[in-house]
Chains A and B, each alone.
Chain A
Amino acid sequence: MSMAEGLQPDEFAATAARAVTACAGLDVREQAHNLAGDGLLGVVADEQVGGLALPLGFAVPVIAAAHSGLLTFPLLETILVARSLQSSLTRLAAAIVSGKTLATIAWQGEAGAARDGGLLVLSGMVARAPGAACADYILVRMSGGAAALIPTDADGVVVEEAAGLDLTVPEHTVRLEKVEVSIGSILPAGTWDLLNSDANVLRAAAILGSAEACLTLAQEHASTRRQFGHALSYNQAIRHALARQKLALESIRHAITRSLSGEGGPVQRDAAFLAAVTYGSSISEGALQIHGGMGFTWDVPVHRHLRRIRSLQAQGDASGLISTFGRRYVSEVAPFAEAGA
């Protein structure tokens, strides 16, 4: 019997929210231990590596809760790496699911590879690797859609801080200088596309969590902050701005739901991510605006969500994706011909 039977994704939201709260103030390895204890690191990984073997939809409320609560752990990457390794690197996948080993993904760039006997020698620069400074392994993209798992303590691996926006799970750049990895650490062609397609759904979920937190903050502020003798929410301009944010938020939520339904495929997954980027940015920027001068202060957490959303936008290469998405759509339509119009 699958563990999914009888369970609903939403039931994971409360568990995830509690787990995220419990992680406050802990270092990354302690967080990994706690999150593993709640089954969250292996939510979509096979049971043979200690996972729950649930469909991707169960990771959506988990990731949304993590981002809503500003969890300082690369949960999205951990969940996906564990599942990517479960067939070929079973023991490592189990160690990741159990929280003993930390892994992340470098979303930008490709490693160049040269063969040297039974080893591959990787060189190049990859970037946008959340939390790489604390990770034991980094999954990097290779040409042809394959992926390589690289130990961060291997000779030639240099993890550097990057000047990224995200303060919660900062991104790192990774220089690979003739790094030798075994052939067994290479995941086959197609791995990256599958990984990225799932990541797009989870990035949308992450943005949903952050955007929901922003809207809640904006709504609370508008109800309690008084100007001109009234609560801000007395003013139609504020009410309508918040209403537009609510429409944007529900649009992200519904797009994710559709991407995981029977109607969902790669197009719907890309669309969910692209919609989330557009609407998530608009919601977080709008929430900052509603807060007025307070919104521009370090202590009001809206900017932390805004920073995360913009980082997720870059990690998923939304600018490149919307261009690809549009070109693909255009290419699939035949020129007008009366008979086939």
Chain B
Amino acid sequence: MSVVEAVSAQSTASENLTDEAYRDAMHRWLHANLPAGFRSDSAAFAAPTLQQSVAWEAAMYRAGLTGITWPQAYGGHGRSLREHLIANQEIGRLAMPESVNSIGKELAGPIILAVGTEEQKRRFLPAILEMRNIWCQGFSEPEAGSDLAGLRTRATRDGDGWRINGQKIWTSGAYRSQRCLVLARTGALEDRHRGLAMFAVPLDAKGVRVRTIKSIDGRESFCEVFFDEVEIAQQDAIGAPDEGWAAAIRVLEIERATNRMYRAWRFENELRHLISACKADPALSAMVANRHYAVRLGEVAVEIEVLKAHVETAVEALVRGDKIGARGSLAKLYWSESHQRFAALALELLSQASLPQKAAIAVARRRFEAIYLQARAETIYAGTTEIQLGIIADRILQLSRGK
């Protein structure tokens, strides 16, 4: 039976539920429908194919688990940010695969909602939620990693449309995407942040070439994307030419604080999995019972509680109508570094397992060795740790740079 066939298509979108009833509905649906093979804390785990991921995420959408706060007019479920948090808590509590379209749902979609035309909202947004269009993010370039204002990919006017030339790099998932959210320069390089525009570039357009890059975890999800005289229609320009950067920053600030809101609860799922695996192993069960590792595991648990506090505080602030501003950098810095510490502890523990290796340890090693490697990217993408520290110093502390 395919994932889609296994899924009840009934949506909760139109139901008026209390928070607890909503949580219960999301919890029950996820537990009833997440295939055992998708669970990375299961011996039955097998990394889902792209087709399986697309089907699963489309089913999640129909069940009301994605597009939660998006307006119903554009395919969303029109629910509150607090309900978005509740759904994400339930998503986090299960060891399910990461979305293959997180850029569509958490970056491109919100930007289009903020500055897109009515036609763009109707054309792009339902396609993202229904998983008909997977998006990737074309921001970084070989000469513009952290310093996006130095990007060189150029968009020039060409009749009623645009012509794009340049190169993007470290573009996760471009090989599987239909659209790329491209940030391109319309003015001079010296203009820095001014004169940057955003485009929804179809990756099957003539002149687009995608080449995968092997990453440290052995996967080939990272890509380079080359644009050679790529013609783009005006209707695929997102926002006004000079508005692109400002709009991106506004949305990125919120997204930095709220995207993958399930993280703290997923980290908790990981911690519980690690402990459960250790308790199934003769040597490790003794170790996690002793003071040294009890303290270190306790420290991880405290950090997870603090991360939950960061997320919930951000949600409450947004619900009150406060601006998040640069505060999103606090949460991003916190989760990325604490997850790396946790992943290193997991490896350290699992490396001391008994021989012959128990099935529980094999499952845990497969999961945590992958997490450890992938976590190295977490202090790099979405603004490196150094960029986040700079944002906090400049915009939150407003430290003087005076000479």
Contact = CB atoms under 8 A, between A and B. Distances in A.
Interface of A: 219, 222-223, 229-231, 233-234, 236, 239-240, 242-244, 246-247, 250-251, 254-255, 257-258, 261, 263, 267-268, 271-272, 274-275, 278, 322-323, 325-327, 329-330, 333-338, 341
Contact of A234 (B276, B312, B402): B402
Nearest to B289: A330
A315 to B, nearest CB: 18
A255 B311 CA distance: 11
Contacts of B273: 336, 341
Contact of A239 (B299, B360, B393): B393
B334 A251 contact: yes
Contacts of A219: 397, 399
B279 A333 contact: yes
A326 B294 CA distance: 4
A230 B295 CA distance: 43
Contact of B302 (A261, A271, A323, A327): A271
Contacts of B291: 323
29 contacts: A219-B399, A223-B399, A229-B403, A231-B403, A234-B401, A240-B386, A240-B390, A242-B399, A243-B393, A243-B397, A246-B397, A254-B310, A258-B313, A267-B305, A271-B301, A275-B302, A326-B297, A327-B294, A327-B298, A329-B275, A329-B298, A330-B275, A333-B279, A334-B276, A335-B276, A336-B279, A336-B363, A341-B39, A341-B41
B296 interface: yes
A338 B334 contact: no
Contacts of B390: 236, 239-240, 243
B389 interface: yes
A251 B307 CA distance: 8
Contacts of B306: 251, 254-255, 271, 275
Chain A at the B interface: SS class: helix
A239 B285 contact: no
Contacts of A337: 280
Interface string B378-403: 00000000101110111011011111
Interface in B26-61: 39, 41-44
A251 B333 CA distance: 11
B305 A333 contact: no
A247 B275 contact: no
Contacts of A230: 402-403
B308 interface: yes
Interface string B203-245: 0000000000000000000000000000000000000000000
A336 B386 CA distance: 38
Contacts, number: 155
Contacts of B364: 336
A247 B403 contact: no
Nearest to A274: B302
A234 B264 CA distance: 35
Contact of B392 (A243, A263, A325): A243
Contact of B301 (A231, A243, A246, A326): A326
Q: 6 closest Cβ contacts across the A-B interface? A: A326-B298, A326-B294, A336-B360, A254-B309, A243-B392, A271-B305
Interface residues of B, number: 56
Given A242-B399, A326-B299, 16 more contacts: A223-B400, A231-B400, A233-B402, A242-B393, A243-B392, A254-B309, A271-B302, A271-B305, A275-B302, A275-B305, A322-B302, A329-B275, A330-B279, A330-B288, A336-B363, A341-B363
Contacts of A267: 305
B305 A255 contact: yes
A242 B330 contact: no
A255 B275 contact: no
B373 to A, nearest CB: 22
Nearest to A254: B309
Nearest to B402: A231
A234 B403 contact: yes
B123 interface: no
B301 A255 contact: no
B394 to A, nearest CB: 8
A223 B402 CA distance: 8
B360 A322 contact: no
A261 B285 CA distance: 34
Given A231-B400, A341-B42, A336 B280 contact: yes
B309 A257 contact: yes
Given A239-B389, A333-B272, A247 B301 contact: no
A19 to B, nearest CB: 28
Nearest to B327: A250
B24 to A, nearest CB: 16
Contacts of B294: 323, 326-327, 330
Contacts of A341: 39, 41-42, 273, 276, 363
A251 B310 contact: yes
Contacts of B327: 250
